[in-house]
Amino acid sequence: MPSHLPRSFSKPFLKVFHILEAILLLAITLATVVAMVNEFIHVFVNRNIQLTDILLMFIYLEILAMVQQFVAHGKIPVRYPLYIAIMAIARYITLGMKELDGAFIIWLSLAAFILAAATVLIRIGHHYWPYEEPEEPGKKQADD
């Protein structure tokens, strides 16, 4: 649905918005890289790598993948935040395994399972009902 705002307002607003978006994407990328470097330093200094460290690195990797997808395609697939949530739950369970109540661990595991099932359903849905790409202006369709 097109905007009803005057072009004299919307064009500069969108330009400022795109600049802010680029700055925030850069900040997210730099913060993620710094966090990854800190994690590698932590592992190197302690000379010990644990499962929680690996899961945290996967979370950082998924954040970078989300930024890459947004820069490349202008949108983030819903499954990327779902992957991050699954990894965060797995890391939380792994970190607090000794202190967590058994029922709480089961609830967290159920939450991770629901997120994984949602990811599968989204993938199946995209396979059977893919998004229609908007037609680019000036391009003719093959059927013409």
How high is the pLDDT of residue 134?
Answer: 60
How high is the pLDDT of residue 109?
Answer: 95
How high is the pLDDT of residue 137?
Answer: 56
How high is the pLDDT of residue 144?
Answer: 45
- Residue 62: exposed, middle, or buried by beta-carbon count in 10 A (0-12, 13-18, 19+)? buried
What average pLDDT values come out for the chain (144 residues) when binned by 10 residues?
A: 75 89 95 96 94 91 93 87 93 87 93 96 89 62 49
**The tokens 């978006």 sit on which residue?**
21
Is pTM beyond 0.85? Reply is no
Q: Are 49 and 3 in contact (CB under 8 A)?
A: no
